[in-house]
Amino acid sequence: MMPTLAGASALLLFLSQTATVLPAAQGAAGPYTVAQAEAGALSYAAECARCHGSKLQGGFEEPPLAGERFMAKWETQTTHDLLNFIATRMPPQRPGFLGEAQNLELVAFILRSNNIPSGPNPMTRNTAVQIGNKQP
Ligand code: HEC
């Protein structure tokens, strides 16, 4: 079957819509590794999901950690800001108890959940990549 023009333009529309939601860290290599995001998913399930939801959708009083609302709040901030927030504020009953490596993995998992791509280099405490495209 010949590809139709309608099919091609639907694909283009899809691609352009996808492109607008993909944030800044795209293009250059992403700021975390797949291994970090995968480890983060496990910590998230154990320590965070009961409040923020298994799909990061948020709870009754807890904000979502993925999607438009999260990005609107964090797109002008850096991965370092997010690490600091988690390290000093989360989980609320025992902030900081998870330690730096685990908190970095949680940041990686949250970034991946917001469609920010991974890259070859692990995130460290010195990584400070802006989370979204918007000018701060
Ligand atoms: C007992 C419930 C609870 C647990 C467990 C919890 N959080 Fe939270 N979290 C909250 C609440 C409530 C807020 C909003 C108030 C605030 O910002 O302090 C919040 C806010 C956040 C924010 C800021 C979201 C925004 O919109 O700015 C991040 C990021 C976050 N949490 C990450 C985590 C991570 C990572 C974990 C697991 C280590 C975790 N939280 C565990 C209740 C929780």
Percentage, residues of the chain above pLDDT 70 = 79
Determine the distance separating the centroid of ligand 1 and the alpha carbon of 39, expressed in angstroms. Answer: 18
Give Cα 15 to chain centroid, integer Å: 20
Checking if the pLDDT of 136 tops 60, the result is yes
pLDDT digits (tens, 9 = 90+) for 37-47: 999 999 999 99
Q: Indicate the pLDDT class of residue 20, thresholds 50, 70 and 90.
A: very low
Determine the distance separating the centroid of ligand 1 and the alpha carbon of 62, expressed in angstroms. Answer: 6
Lowest mean pLDDT, pick from 14-18, 99-103, 127-131: 14-18
Q: Which of residues 70 and 26 earns the better pLDDT score?
A: 70
Task: Give the three-class secondary structure for 130.
Answer: strand
Instruction: Report the nearest atom of ligand 1 relative to the CA of 47.
Output: 37
Domains (range + CATH), the chain: 31-136 (1.10.760.10)
Ligand 1: list residues with CB < 6 Å: 47-48, 50-52, 61-63, 65, 70, 73, 85-86, 89-92, 98, 106
Q: Indicate the pLDDT class of residue 107, thresholds 50, 70 and 90.
A: very high
Task: For residue 109, count CB atoms less than 10 angstroms from its CB and return exposed for 0-12, middle for 13-18, buried for 19 or more.
Answer: buried
CB 1 within 8 A of CB 107: no
Instruction: Give the per-residue pLDDT at 133.
Output: 86
